Amino acid sequence: MKYTYIDPQPFITALTTDPLWYLALQPQLDKYFYSYDGATATQEFKEERDEVIKLVMELFDSGKILFGSDGEDFDKYRSKHIDTLVIHHPGRDADQTRSIIEVLHLLRLYARYYAEKENSYYGKPIWSGHFYNGKMTFITYHYLVYPDGMVEHILPDGAFVWQAGSLNMNSRSIAICLFAELEHDRPTKAALDATRSIIRTYPGMKVVGHCEVKPQTTCPGDQFLGVDGWKQDLIKN
């Protein structure tokens, strides 16, 4: 891949040789992920950021990024009483493969938390403690639902993940992400049917959108709520 906007070498060197790459790359991570505002960013900056994402994806998919071999047991925060299903969508990045979700959650969430000095895992190699298809995963959804109705059950119900913006809600909820750009659109019928099938396996649980837990976000889109919103399609009998 040719890079128009970034010099890839600092990323490659840090990610493949330094177990604490998230500290070495703090300025870049802050610029492209922690402080990123997609609503105000210029098209040029989005393309610059996309180059960073694609570079990290290539390194991640080829197994070249350094991670820990053990670490914090985040599942200790999981409640024994799971009572809520939280519905998400991945935004504009939905036209990419599942790898982009891995990388974005790794960079936006895990790297950021590990870099917070007050945390007990500060200054340690990143470790999620979660695995999918024999590989450590950083996806923070329990389910991915695709437009054609295919479902990937990424994480078991006992997995604690950062997904709802609230420690209390994260501890007692299941995260379901409809893998499509739904900011102003409705899911496909196949995706809705598949999501309803998941919901039926959790009888009696409350169904909420991410925006109902964290009002600062529009996830899973502006067509979710309201009398004609697609939330009604999920909860109807």
- Tell me, yes or no, whether 61 and 80 share the same domain: no
Q: Which of 180, 166, 194, 168 is nearest to 224 (CA)?
A: 180
Residue that is written with structure tokens 């913006």 in the block? 165
144 membership: H or E segment, kind and range: strand 143-145
Chosen domain end from 42, 66, 90: 66
- Tell me, yes or no, whether 176 and 216 share the same domain: yes
- Tell me, yes or no, whether 192 and 85 share the same domain: yes
Q: What are the Cα distances from residue 190, in Å, to 56, 80, 87? A: 32, 32, 16
Residue with the bigger pLDDT between 165 and 31: it is 31
- Tell me, yes or no, whether 141 and 162 share the same domain: yes
Chosen domain end from 47, 66, 85: 66
End-to-end CA distance of the chain, in Å?
49
- Tell me, yes or no, whether 152 and 185 share the same domain: yes
pLDDT digits (tens, 9 = 90+) for 183-237: 999 999 999 999 999 999 999 999 999 999 999 999 999 999 999 999 999 998 6
- Tell me, yes or no, whether 57 and 153 share the same domain: no
- Tell me, yes or no, whether 84 and 172 share the same domain: yes
- Tell me, yes or no, whether 132 and 180 share the same domain: yes
- Tell me, yes or no, whether 200 and 119 share the same domain: yes
The tally of domains found in the chain comes to 2
Q: Which domain holds residue 226?
A: 71-235
pLDDT digits (tens, 9 = 90+) for 88-146: 998 765 455 788 889 999 999 999 999 999 988 899 999 999 999 999 999 999 999 99
Q: What is the mean pLDDT of residues 70-82?
A: 92
CATH number for the domain including 207? 3.40.80.10
Q: What are the Cα distances from residue 169, in Å, to 127, 129, 163? A: 22, 20, 9
- Tell me, yes or no, whether 105 and 185 share the same domain: yes
Chosen domain end from 32, 66, 100: 66
- Tell me, yes or no, whether 76 and 135 share the same domain: yes
Which pTM was predicted?
0.91
Looking at residue 2, what is its pLDDT?
85
